A = this chain, B = another copy of it.
Amino acid sequence: MKRVTIYDISEILNISPSTVSRALNDSPSVKTKTKEKIIEVAKQLNYFHNKTASRLKTGKNNTVGIIVPYINHSIFSAIIQVIEEILAPLGYIILICQTYEKTVNEIKHIQSLLTNQVECIFVSVTMETINYDHFKKVTSAGIPLIFFDRKADIENVSSVILNDFKSAYKATEHLIEQGCKRIAHFKGNQNLEIYRNRYDGYLKALKDYKIPVDPDLIISCKSSIEEGKRAFNELYNANISLDAIFSPNDHAILGAYQEIKNYNIKVPEEIALVGFSNEIFTKYIEIPITTVFQNPELMGTKAAKFFLEQTNKETTDITHKNEIIEGTLLVRASSKKR
C-alpha cells in the first residue's frame, strides 16, 4: 500500500503542504476551521497510521514528557497542571510518567519518551537516583531536560527548585519562637538534595539559636503516613522528651499526629507540629497543620518558560538557567503555642 503523505492531503484540499504540516502538528498559526478540514481528510486517508514515518523526517511531534515520583502528591500534580496550562494552548501534548521513587522506572520512562521523540523532558528525580547516565542521554540527544523540585547535578540542563534550606530554617525558627526547645526531625532520604537541604536548614536554625543538637531527636523517616507513625512510636517508646516535630514532608507528620492523638497528647500545647508541602489534608484536618507552601504555580511557570525559551532559539547556544524560588511558611493551629 502506498504511504499517504501531506502532499496527498495538500492536493485534495488545494492547501499548501506547509499549512497541512502545521495543521497536523496542531500549530496555533492555522485557523481551527482549516485545521478541522485537514484532519478530516487525513483521517479518511488513514494518514495517522503512517505518521511515525513522517516523524523520522521532522524529528518533532509537539509532545513533551513529565516524569514525577508520584502523580498524587500535591506538589507534583500542581506543577504538572501549570505546565499543561501553559503548553497545551501552544499545541503541545503532555505525557505524564510515574516512577514511584524507583530509578529503574525513571530509566525506562526516559527511554520510552526518547523513543517517542518528545521535544522536552521535565523531571523531578527519584529518591533512589544516584547515577545520572540516563539523563545525560537526553542532553546528548539535544533534547531540553528541565528539572523541577528535585534535580540531578549534571551539565546542560535548566532547573527550578525550592529554597529548601531556607524554608526548613524558617519552619524550625518558627518552632523556636513558639518556645520549643526539644524539636525532633524526621530526617528524609539523604540521597535527595531536597531532604539534605531541609535537614541542614533545621540544624542551622538550632545552631543560630544556640539550641544543642540532640541525635536522639533525629530519626530517619520516609514520606508516608505509616512511616510517620513508626517514627513517632520509636521516639515515644524510647521515652525521648520532645516538644515539637519538624517533618520535611506532610505524610509523615500526619502519621505522627494520628499516634499523638491516640496517646491523648495535646497538639500544639505538648507537641507542636510542622510539615512540608501543603498537602490538601493539612488544611482540613481537625487541628490544621503548619506547613511549607512550595509555590508550585511559580515553579511550573518557570519550568515551562525555560523550555519555551530553549525551543524557540535558532541556535544551539542555549543559556541554561537554574532558579531557586522561596517557600512560604503557612502557620496554622498545630504549631501556634503563643
Using a CB–CB distance below 8 Å, which chain A residues touch chain B? 26, 43, 48-49, 51-53, 55-56, 61, 63, 70-72, 74, 77, 80-81, 84, 88, 93-98, 100, 105, 108-109, 111-112, 114-117, 137, 141, 254, 280-281, 284-286
Q: How many of these chains are in the complex?
A: 2
Q: Binding site of A, secondary structure by majority: helix, strand, loop or mixed?
A: helix
Residues on the B chain within 8 Å of A96, using CB: 71, 95-98
Contact of A112 among B84, B93, B137 (CB under 8 A): B93
Residues on the B chain within 8 Å of A77, using CB: 70-72
Residues on the B chain within 8 Å of A100, using CB: 81, 84
Closest chain B CB from A35 CB (angstroms): 12
Residues on the B chain within 8 Å of A43, using CB: 137
Task: Check A95/B111 contact, CB under 8 A, given A117-B52, A281-B280.
Answer: no
Closest chain B CB from A24 CB (angstroms): 10
Q: Give the 8 A-B CB pairs with smallest separation, nearest first.
A: A72-B77, A96-B96, A71-B71, A93-B112, A286-B286, A95-B95, A281-B281, A284-B285
Residues on the B chain within 8 Å of A109, using CB: 93
Residue of B nearest to A105 (CB): B88
Task: Check A284/B97 contact, CB under 8 A, given A61-B115, A74-B72.
Answer: no
Residues on the B chain within 8 Å of A112, using CB: 63, 93, 95
Could you list some 24 contacts between A and B, CB below 8 A? A43-B137, A51-B115, A52-B55, A52-B117, A55-B115, A61-B115, A63-B112, A71-B72, A71-B80, A71-B96, A72-B74, A81-B100, A84-B100, A88-B105, A93-B97, A93-B112, A94-B98, A95-B96, A95-B112, A95-B116, A96-B97, A281-B285, A285-B286, A286-B286
Most buried by B among A74, A84, A111, A117: A111
Contact of A284 among B48, B49, B71, B284 (CB under 8 A): B284
